[in-house]
Chains A and B, each alone.
Chain A
Amino acid sequence: MYDFLIFTITIAGIYAIMALGLNVLAGYGGLLNFGHIAFAGIGVYATGIAHARGWPVLVGIPLGMIAAMILGWAMARLGRRLAADYWGIATLAVAEILRTVALNEDELTGGANGITGIPGLFESVASPWDQVYFSAVVLGIVAVTAFFSARLGDGRFGRALRLMREQPALAACMGYNLQKIKSHAIMCGGAITALAGSLYAHYFNFAGTEFMLAAETFVLWTMVMIGGMGRTAGVLLGVILVQAVYAFVPFLRDLLGFGSDVAGALRLGLIGAILLICLLWRREGLLPEKLRNPA
């Protein structure tokens, strides 16, 4: 039971970091990135490849963050001539291309088998405590990320992003280089998400393409949308709600005794239904973003 609790907390923490990353570009900047999971995938594989090549495995974390920033820059550049909805589809395509490449380049990524045997962060610690330490590290990173993301959102950069979201023409008039702040937001959110991806690989000791399915991006979007886009506390609340649903389904499964297909359907359907209900009746999320009063 305690194992399950610690497992749930750790996973929720990792997703919280990813969702905070998405919040920087989608919440503050209003950018429709439907391929956000590609950044996490880069983090996962950076750690995996660093391990497979025999490099010190912690090198994977900065490596993944740098690679994610390069990808973010490229994505932003792709968006230079595109309307928001077209860009959303383009990012979906980028994520799927990266997933297909990861699935097929056996020499680099291990193909469909993935890269196994990635060491955890606390290999030398005895059995129950390594999990506890790991979740403590994850929660610590969540706290630091949340603090900085809130600071970022209230600072000059966050205000510029919000202005770009609400009134792009006005933001341009005030002398902001929209392309540049867009690109910085994507790079920043991408780097945070890649960090979470690396943690994911360390936690499961495995790097594979299952982490990179488009459905995972949608889960991140659900977390950010139901909690409240653009507000750190809202995003964290959304993560907790979605993870609660995920943790609840196995219990229901044992209780009612249905098959794995129904369990999968229930997870997906509940998340979809929650997102839909939230969009229809409480579009700003449970904890709405607080915009400063102009007066």
Chain B
Amino acid sequence: MLQFLVDALLRTADLALITLGLSMLYGLIRFPNIAHVQYAMCGAFLAYAINSAGAPLIVSVVLASILTGLLTLVIQLLVFDRLLKSGPAIAMIGSLAVSMVLVASVLGIAGSFPHMFSLPHTEPLIIGDARISHTQLWFVLTTLVLLTLFVLLLFHTQVGRAMRALACNPALADASGLNASRITNGVTFISGMLAGLGGSMLSLSTGAHVNLGYDLLLPVFAAAILGGLGNPIGAVAGAALIALTETAVTNINFGPLLGETLVFLPVSYISAASFLILLLALLFKPYGLFDREVRRV
């Protein structure tokens, strides 16, 4: 049972940072950026490259996330700002193109073979009957600290207030003298950094590989939509919910229901489980579980 909770927590940590960035940015730019998960993939490869060039692990992860943040900002300024003038649909198709180009560049430079980090071998920690490796523990702790910092930033500082105001009512925020483009650029940078950090820390256990982004695409979007796109705190809750369901679907023994002793769903159905939640969410709560916005009926 404890192992179940640990697995769910680890999966939440996988998804939370990337989902948070995606959702936060959506609040400001109002289109679902499909390339966002590819930023995480780029972060993973950057961390691997810096680490194999000889930098210590922590330095390479931090550097990789900063570089990913810059990359995100550059793409936003050069591509999406221009495409958004033609509407969100065009920007969304553009994000497909950007994600193709990013995957192609990484595939061309690094190849399709996964790159594993050379980490010192350590015994996993054993808590009760659950096992967790040191890197995973650090991953979860970093995620928790960052999420706490983020909540503090969003709800207890002037900058956070400006961000919320801009997401809520851009016209009014602009009229009140907030510098909209500076805030948007800042948020873009932060969300890219979070994606890079999430991706590089994820790759510590799975290795940096080209499909890292594609594998994250649907769970991350499911989590973000479930939490209500544009609602960062909801995004984290959505990530936790998706992680719980994925872990439950693969760990529950369906045998007794079907009159056999052991029936588990194949592992490849994990991704289908999160899509199914996504579809159900879109059918019954199309604006997320935590939608408080009032719409005219």
Q: Which residues of A approach B to under 8 Å, CB–CB?
A: 30, 32, 34, 78, 81-86, 88-90, 92-94, 96-97, 100-101, 103-104, 214-215, 218, 221-222, 225, 259, 261-262, 264-273, 275-276, 279-280, 283
Contact = CB atoms under 8 A, between A and B. Distances in A.
Given A89-B32, A261-B112, A268-B103, A280 B79 contact: yes
A61 B48 CA distance: 48
Contacts of B282: 78, 82, 86, 89-90
Contacts of B100: 215, 218, 268-269, 271-272, 275
Taking residues whose C-beta sits less than 8 angstroms from the other chain, chain B's interface range is: 35 or more
B279 A272 contact: no
Nearest to B98: A276
Contact of B275 (A96, A267, A272): A96
Interface stretch (B83-91, B145-153, B169-177): B83-91
B31 A280 contact: no
A172 to B, nearest CB: 16
Contacts of B179: none
| 10 A-B pairs closest in CB distance | A272-B100, A269-B104, A265-B108, A265-B107, A272-B101, A275-B97, A268-B104, A93-B275, A276-B97, A100-B272
Nearest to B279: A93
30 contacts: A32-B89, A34-B96, A78-B279, A78-B282, A81-B286, A82-B286, A84-B88, A84-B89, A86-B229, A86-B282, A88-B32, A92-B217, A92-B218, A93-B218, A94-B279, A96-B218, A97-B275, A97-B276, A100-B268, A100-B275, A104-B269, A221-B96, A259-B111, A262-B107, A268-B107, A275-B93, A276-B79, A276-B98, A279-B97, A280-B79
A275 B83 CA distance: 12
Most buried by A among B32, B90, B98, B107: B107
B96 A275 contact: yes
Contacts, number: 128
Contact of B90 (A215, A268, A283): A283
A100 B249 CA distance: 15
Q: Decide if the interface of chain B is mainly helix, strand, loop or mixed.
A: helix
Contacts of B214: 214
Contacts of B221: 89, 93
Given A96-B218, A100-B269, A32 B92 contact: yes
A279 B96 CA distance: 11
Given A82-B282, A89-B221, A89-B225, A272 B89 contact: no
Nearest to A88: B92
